[in-house]
């Protein structure tokens, strides 16, 4: 390929520099995945310390301040640095492949999303290195977040970390929305899109709409802390409730941003290993849209105990209960997909089926505290901790593991070991239930959340110890996965194009796919294109040998991300840092704009 | 379809795991059942399932319906998943039925959640409506104020101000005015009522009557993260018989008795000349600070440090000497010389004796 002056050459595909300058969606997907899984392990270590502290009454593994920092950072790490980017990893790797495209719409923007995510993640996580983690919970309610009650840098790390991650997510979301709407292969109409791609599209719109209110709230908090404004200070005419509304207008759609990728994954896995098409495809798609739409009208169910009036409580309760309807439809349709099938229980399928069971538990408890009177007893107890972990661990992470085992041969050309995978699956399934099921009971008998210590004699002892043991079973499962991953990566790639006999386009190309994804852009004739082609004897088209244009690598994304990183450091050190940061960003955008694309 | 080799291996694995499950499942279930029966007692000290107040009774009007419905959905979905998983696992010679959907079925399982939601909504909404009517006219007014990290209770009509231990007469509605002095806290006595947040800049309200009088207190605890010692912010509610309540109220309102023994007298003298009076009030003395808890009749209270430790001379000594060692972040400065304060051990012992004598 010709190299034009001012463009980086397409170099050998190895070496650190090739990863730093890559704009290939598959490599960015790998970067997201590896980074996010590293953060996932780090969040898991935090969880283990939390569980060890709570194993016995009056635990003294850590002190109160460290504990508050741990549970705050555990939530932030798992939500923003592990589960969201693990979803992003799948979006990146799979979206162009599943819609028959050669890359995303804006490849350099995609690289910038990743590097900005890394910058935000590092800034947020580094708070521990300076001994000043945020301690106000991931929801960070005012006025506990003010300089009066949180004088150290913890909340500033929170503000700049989340602002940066928000910028990253917003860029990624715009990119995927544009990609899915514009770059679909010929014949791939919207109602033929794989459900995973539908979920990606829905999540992209959720992110585009949910991040602005969070950004507004974060900027207000930044102003309160840096410039002495009083947005959330009741004593000066501000209002701490304002933070709660802005945060949860983001925070509740965020829940769907976390769970919809997993729903998309199992909607791909279940039909393949049941050997039959998805049951009620339109119902599953429209339920996903309905969930996302209703997700905007329920945020105040996080605030039932703040003293809202009877009318808002009634409306938000009703809306929340209504979300149970499309969710129920999805669960029944997944079961309908399995019904009448010839189900092969490999690791990926075992995870997908256990997703249905575990997510259902989280869904049921969610509908339970949709009732405001009941919520006055659930709110801020371990019942809610049980609920959210069934959704995020039993739901999102279980779905993600299903996806990892399913797409691993496509991503690397190698099969993860099934035997070890089964051991890992059972450790995971048992660990999730051991750790989180007793939390329902503990919440029911009055154990509040976010307490670093509890008294003996309240019957909290036995199940807390039990849960702590469960959390180590979960840790063993993750270790088994890591072992599986590293041993598998040392093997030779053996995977054929379509080892599972799957119907979607990513299985039409080699495993792993070439840099240009498809030799010939496929044509889609039905909802399950590869099954249709197989059943109708349609051969894959032959490569024509025409020139395939690919975007050249670029170092401008990481340069701009470096500028953003310096910008985030400003509120933590001195605002003069902006003088250093802004020129780098401006130079990066300038160079980006003028960079030739051939 | 490709990769039949992999397929063979998978079948082998599942057969093995099935044998594994046969061996271990009964044992695991037995252990789990035993644990369940011994570990899941419901009538525990802080349990939301014990109904001893009108508000919690109202909660359980909805909760009972929702609990059993949730249980039913849980059982049905789990059994269905399990049955389909076993019934339709791959077998030689049986291939999958190629079904794309079934409109009748899909309409049916749209209507099932609709019905469930409606059944849940009815008691919920009636309950919200009943609560919106507010407290009965004869309710006793109590102002509850959250502080980092203790609870202040004022009875404006009875002119009583106390902290961390609330007394209420049985079967008498109490109308609470809920406030906060600093950050958000939450007022929660699980057996009596659901929680209500204490918001700075807002006045919230909740009302309930305790329906079961007993000498042991009902346990309350702050339920909203409020800083370092959130876990140590607790309180107790005594639901008294009307006679007990009246005698308690009379006692609190009447002048504090002068200490009888010499140690307590010495303690009073130390208290009056130390920093204590800047923050604490003891009715009938010159101590009139309002930053810390009101200490009137402290000797009557069963606990100190906002419900976290028993009210004994030793604990009082430890608390006054260095409160942050008991409650991290405590805003009361260390008073003992060993912890950087101004009082000697003997003086603290005297103050403790004085406070305990306030009965």
pLDDT by residue (tens digit) across A109-130?
A: 999 999 999 999 999 999 999 9
Q: What is the pLDDT of residue A159?
A: 96
Q: What is the mean pLDDT of residues A400-422?
A: 97
Residue B9: pLDDT band (50, 70, 90) is very low
Structural contact between residues A321 and B121, judged by C-beta atoms closer than 8 angstroms:
yes
- The predicted pLDDT at position B22 comes to 66
Contact A380, A439 (CB under 8 A): no
In chain A, % of residues over pLDDT 90:
92
- pLDDT at residue A328 above 70? yes
A-chain CB neighbours of B81 within 8 Å are 335, 353, 356-357, 360
Q: How far apart are CA A164 and CA A158, in angstroms?
A: 10
C-alpha distance from B116 to closest chain A C-alpha (Å):
9
* Model pLDDT, residue B3: 39
Q: What is the DSSP letter of B26?
A: H
Q: At what angle do helices A398-412 and A240-274 cross, to 10 degrees?
A: 60
Q: How far apart are the first and last CA of chain A?
A: 9
> Percentages helix, strand, coil for chain A, rounded to the nearest 5?
70, 0, 30
DSSP H helical ranges for chain B: 4-39, 54-87, 103-132, 242-253, 262-273, 276-279, 313-321, 345-357
The answer to whether residue A242 neighbours chain B at the CB level (below 8 Å) is no
The C-alpha of A210 sits at a distance from chain B's nearest C-alpha, in angstroms, of: 25
In chain B, the largest separation of any two C-alpha atoms, in whole Å, equals: 96
A555 inside 8 A of chain B by CB: no
The region of weakest confidence among A10-19, A530-539, A552-561, A562-571 is A10-19
Q: Which residues of A touch B231 (CB under 8 A)?
A: 64, 448, 450-454
Residue reference for tokens 């070439």:
A514
Structurally, how many domains does chain A consist of?
1
Architecture, CATH, for domain B140-253:
Sandwich (2.60)
Q: Residue A364 — very low, low, confident or very high, per pLDDT cuts 50/70/90?
A: very high
As given in the structure block, the two tokens for residue B294 are: 């009101």
Give the per-residue pLDDT at B29.
Answer: 74
* Mean pLDDT on A518-523: 92
Confidence grade of residue B283 (pLDDT, cut at 50, 70, 90): confident
pLDDT at B353: 95
The CATH 2.60.40.420 domain(s) of chain B lie at: 140-253, 262-356
Whether A331 and chain B come into contact, CB under 8 Å, resolves to yes
Handedness of CA B271, B276, B277, B282 (dihedral sign): negative
Using a CB–CB cutoff of 8 Å, tell me whether A321 touches chain B: yes
Is the CA virtual torsion A491, A496, A497, A499 positive or negative?
negative
How far apart CA B140 and CA B135 sit, in angstroms, is: 9
- Compute the distance between CA of residue A429 and CA of residue B21 in angstroms, rounded to an integer: 13
CA distance A145 to chain B (A): 9
Q: Determine the structural domain holding residue A234 and report its residue range.
A: 2-324+338-348+489-538
Inform me whether the pLDDT recorded for B13 exceeds 50: no
Helix (H/G/I), strand (E/B), else coil: B304: strand
What does the block give as tokens for A532?
């249709």
CA-wise closest residue to A120 among A51, A214, A18, A52? A214
Cis status, amide bond into B4, omega within 30 of 0: no
Residue A10 has pLDDT above 60, yes or no: no
pLDDT digits (tens, 9 = 90+) for A161-196: 999 999 999 999 999 999 999 999 999 999 999 999
- Percent of chain B at pLDDT > 70 equals 92
DSSP B296: T
For residue A140, give the 3-state DSSP assignment: coil
Q: 């509120």: which residue's tokens? A: A571
User: What's the sign of the alpha-carbon dihedral A284, A287, A292, A293?
Assistant: positive
Task: Compute the average pLDDT of residues A17-44.
Answer: 95
A528 to A263, A522, A534, B100, B184: CA distances (angstroms)? 18, 13, 10, 11, 53
pLDDT at B6: 42
Residue B284 confidence (pLDDT) = 85
* Prediction ipTM score: 0.92
Mean pLDDT of chain B: 90
Taking residues B21-35, what's their average pLDDT?
71
For A365, name the nearest residue in chain B, comparing CA atoms only.
B70
For range B178-190, the mean pLDDT: 97
Environment class of A419 (CB within 10 Å of its CB; exposed 0-12, middle 13-18, buried 19+): middle
Q: For residues B324 and B303, is the Cβ–Cβ distance under 8 A?
A: no
Q: What is the pLDDT of residue B15?
A: 57
Q: Nearest to residue A123, comparing CAs of A166, A165, A65?
A: A165
Placement of tokens 């902006």 in the chain: A578
* The pLDDT of residue A510 is above 60: yes
Could you tell me if A493 and A503 are in contact, meaning their C-beta atoms sit under 8 angstroms apart? no
Which pairing describes strands B140-147 and B174-180: parallel, antiparallel, or unpaired?
parallel
Inter-chain CB proximity A335 and B184 less than 8 Å: no
Which residues on B lie below 8 Å from A441 (Cβ)?
39-40
- Which of A195, A156, A161, A197 shows the shortest CA–CA distance to A179? A197
Q: Taking residues B182-210, what's their average pLDDT?
A: 96
| Helices B313-321 + B345-357 axis angle, to 10 | 130
| Mean pLDDT score, B126-145 | 94
Identify the CA nearest to A466 among candidates A398, A367, A382, A361: A382
**Is A171 part of the contact surface with chain B (CB cutoff 8 Å)?**
no
pLDDT in tens, B208-243: 999 999 999 999 999 999 999 999 999 999 999 999
pLDDT value of position A598: 66
B262-356 sits in which CATH class?
mainly beta
Distance from C-alpha of A30 to C-alpha of B311, rounded to nearest angstrom: 60
Cα–Cα distance for residue pair A460/A137, rounded to 1 Å:
22
Inspect the interface and report whether the beta carbons of A149 and B77 lie closer than 8 Å. no
CATH code: domain of residue A130: 1.20.210.10
Strands B193-198 and B234-240: unpaired
Give the minimum alpha-carbon distance from B183 to chain A in angstroms, rounded to a whole number: 6
Residue A44 lies in a domain: yes
Q: Is residue A107's pLDDT more than 60? A: yes
d(Cα A542, Cα A536) in Å, to the nearest integer?
18
Identify all chain B residues contacting A364, using CB atoms and an 8 Å cutoff. 70, 73-74
The mean pLDDT value for B341-357 works out to 94
**A526–chain B nearest CA distance, Å:** 13
- How would you classify the pairing of strands B234-240 and B218-221? antiparallel
Average pLDDT along chain A: 94
CB pairs < 8 Å spanning A and B: 321
Q: Is B228 in contact with B328 (CB distance < 8 Å)? A: yes
Q: Place B96 in a pLDDT band, splitting at 50, 70 and 90.
A: confident
Q: Residue B178: what are its φ and ψ, rounded to 5°?
A: -110, 120
Residue A448 has pLDDT above 70, yes or no: yes
According to DSSP, residue A105 is labeled S
The verdict on residue A394 lying in a domain is no
The catalytic residue positions of A are 74, 103, 138, 168-169, 252, 254, 256, 267, 301-302, 327, 330, 449
- For residue B89, give the 3-state DSSP assignment: strand
Q: How confident is the model at residue B4 (pLDDT cuts 50, 70, 90)?
A: very low
What pLDDT sits at residue A218? 97
CB pair distance less than 8 Å for A322 and B74: no
The pLDDT of residue B21 is above 70: no
A contacts of B149 (beta carbons < 8 Å) = none
Tell me what pLDDT residue A547 has: 82
Partner-chain contact B96 A463, CB within 8 Å: no
Do A435 and A384 contact (CB within 8 A), yes or no?
no
DSSP track, B186-246 = EEEETTTEEEEEE-TT--EEEEE-B----SSPEEEE--S--STTGGG-EEEEEEE-HHHHH
CB contact under 8 A, B197 and A333: no
Number of Cβ within a 10 Å radius of residue B42: 12
Residue A454 lies in a domain: no
Provide, as residue numbers in chain B, all residues whose Cβ is less than 8 Å from the Cβ of A240.
184, 199-201
Yes or no: say if A285 and A198 are a contact pair by the CB < 8 Å rule: yes
Mean predicted confidence (pLDDT) in A205-224 = 96
H-only helix segments in A13-83: 16-20, 25-54, 64-76
State whether A318 and B121 contact (CB < 8 Å): yes
Contact indicator for A84, A166 with CB cutoff of 8 Å: no
Q: Which of A145-154, A375-384, B106-115 has the lowest mean pLDDT?
A: B106-115
Residue A453 CA to residue B232 CA, distance in Å, equals: 8
């Amino acid at each position: 390929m010709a190299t034009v002056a001012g463009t980086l050459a397409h170099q050998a595909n190895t070496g650190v520099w090739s990863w730093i300058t890559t704009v290939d969606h598959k490599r960015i997907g790998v970067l997201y995945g590896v980074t996010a899984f590293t953060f996932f392990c780090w969040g898991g270590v935090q969880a283990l310390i939390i569980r060890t502290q709570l194993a016995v009454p009056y635990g003294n593994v850590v002190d109160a301040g460290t504990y508050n920092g741990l549970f705050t950072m555990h939530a932030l790490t798992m939500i923003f640095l592990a589960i969201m980017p693990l979803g992003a990893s799948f979006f990146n790797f799979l979206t162009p492949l599943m819609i028959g495209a050669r890359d995303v719409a804006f490849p350099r923007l995609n690289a910038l999303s990743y590097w900005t995510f890394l910058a935000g993640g590092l800034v947020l996580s580094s708070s521990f290195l300076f001994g000043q983690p945020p301690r106000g919970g991931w929801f960070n309610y005012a006025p506990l977040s003010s300089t009066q009650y949180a004088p150290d840098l913890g909340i500033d790390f929170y503000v700049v970390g989340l602002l940066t991650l928000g910028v990253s997510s917003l860029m990624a979301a715009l990119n995927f929305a544009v990609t899915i709407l514009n770059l679909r292969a010929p014949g791939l109409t919207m109602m033929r899109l794989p459900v995973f791609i539908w979920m990606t599209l829905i999540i992209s719109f959720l992110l585009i709409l949910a991040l602005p209110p969070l950004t507004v709230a974060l900027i207000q908090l930044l102003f309160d802390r840096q410039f002495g404004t009083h947005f959330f200070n009741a004593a000066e005419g501000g209002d701490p409730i304002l933070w709660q509304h802005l945060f949860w207008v983001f925070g509740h759609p965020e829940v769907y941003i976390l769970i919809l990728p997993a729903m998309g994954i199992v909607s791909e896995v279940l039909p393949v290993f049941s050997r039959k098409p998805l049951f009620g495809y339109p119902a599953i798609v429209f339920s996903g849209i309905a969930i996302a739409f209703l997700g905007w009208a329920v945020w105040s169910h996080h605030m039932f105990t703040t003293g809202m009036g009877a009318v808002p409580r009634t409306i938000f309760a009703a809306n929340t209960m209504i979300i149970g309807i499309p969710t129920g439809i999805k669960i029944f349709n997944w079961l309908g997909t399995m019904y009448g099938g010839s189900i092969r229980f490999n690791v990926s399928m075992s995870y997908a089926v256990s997703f249905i069971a575990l997510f259902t538990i989280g869904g049921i408890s969610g509908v339970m505290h949709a009732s405001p009177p009941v919520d006055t007893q659930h709110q801020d107890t371990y019942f809610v901790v049980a609920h959210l972990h069934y959704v995020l661990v039993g739901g999102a992470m279980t779905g993600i593991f299903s996806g990892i085992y399913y797409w691993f041969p496509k991503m690397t050309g190698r099969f993860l070991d099934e035997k070890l995978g089964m051991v890992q699956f059972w450790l995971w399934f048992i660990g999730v239930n051991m750790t989180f099921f007793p939390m329902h009971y503990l919440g029911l008998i009055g154990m509040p959340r976010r307490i670093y210590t509890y008294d003996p004699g309240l019957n909290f002892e036995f199940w807390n110890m039990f849960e702590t043991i469960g959390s180590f079973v979960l840790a063993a499962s993750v270790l088994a996965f890591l072992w599986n991953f590293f041993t598998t990566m040392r093997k030779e790639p053996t995977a054929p194009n379509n080892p599972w006999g799957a119907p979607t386009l990513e299985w039409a190309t080699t495993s792993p796919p070439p840099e240009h994804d498809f030799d010939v852009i496929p044509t889609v004739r039905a909802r399950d294109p590869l099954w249709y082609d197989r059943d109708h004897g349609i051969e894959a088209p032959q490569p024509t040998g025409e020139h395939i244009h690919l975007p050249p690598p670029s170092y401008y994304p990481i340069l701009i991300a470096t500028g953003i990183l310096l910008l985030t450091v400003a509120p933590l050190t001195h605002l003069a840092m902006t003088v250093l940061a802004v020129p780098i960003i401006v130079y990066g955008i300038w160079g980006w704009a003028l960079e030739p694309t051939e | 379809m490709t990769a039949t080799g992999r397929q063979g291996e998978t079948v082998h694995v599942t057969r093995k795991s099935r044998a594994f499950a046969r061996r271990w499942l009964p044992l695991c279930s037995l252990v789990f059942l035993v644990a369940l029966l011994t570990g899941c007692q419901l009538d525990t000290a802080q349990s939301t399932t014990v109904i001893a107040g009108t508000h919690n009774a109202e909660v359980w009007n909805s909760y009972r319906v929702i609990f059993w419905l949730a249980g039913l959905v849980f059982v049905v979905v789990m059994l269905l998943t399990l049955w389909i998983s076993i019934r339709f696992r791959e077998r030689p010679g049986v291939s999958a039925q190629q079904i794309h959907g079934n409109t009748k079925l899909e309409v049916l399982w749209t209507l099932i959640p609709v019905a469930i939601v409606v059944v849940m909504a009815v008691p919920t909404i009636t309950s919200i409506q009943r609560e919106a009517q507010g407290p009965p006219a004869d309710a006793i007014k109590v102002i509850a104020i959250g502080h980092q990290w203790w609870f202040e209770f004022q009875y404006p009509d009875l002119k009583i101000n106390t902290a961390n231990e609330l007394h209420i007469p049985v079967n008498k509605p109490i109308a609470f005015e809920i406030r906060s002095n600093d950050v958000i806290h939450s007022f929660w006595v699980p057996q009596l009522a659901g929680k209500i947040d204490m918001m700075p800049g807002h006045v919230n309200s909740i009302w309930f009557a305790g329906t079961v009088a007993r000498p042991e207190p009902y346990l309350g605890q702050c339920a909203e993260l409020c800083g370092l010692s959130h876990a140590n912010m607790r309180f107790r509610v005594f639901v008294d018989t009307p006679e007990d309540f009246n005698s308690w109220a009379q006692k609190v309102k009447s002048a504090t008795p002068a200490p009888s023994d010499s140690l307590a007298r010495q303690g009073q003298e130390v208290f009056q000349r130390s920093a204590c009076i800047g923050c604490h009030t003891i009715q009938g003395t010159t101590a009139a600070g309002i930053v810390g808890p009101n200490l009137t009749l402290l000797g009557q209270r069963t606990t100190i440090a906002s419900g976290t430790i028993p009210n004994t001379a030793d604990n009082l000594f430890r608390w006054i000497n260095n409160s942050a060692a008991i409650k991290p972040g405590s805003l009361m400065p260390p008073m003992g010389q060993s912890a950087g304060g101004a009082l000697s051990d003997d003086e603290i012992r005297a103050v403790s004796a004085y406070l305990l004598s306030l009965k």
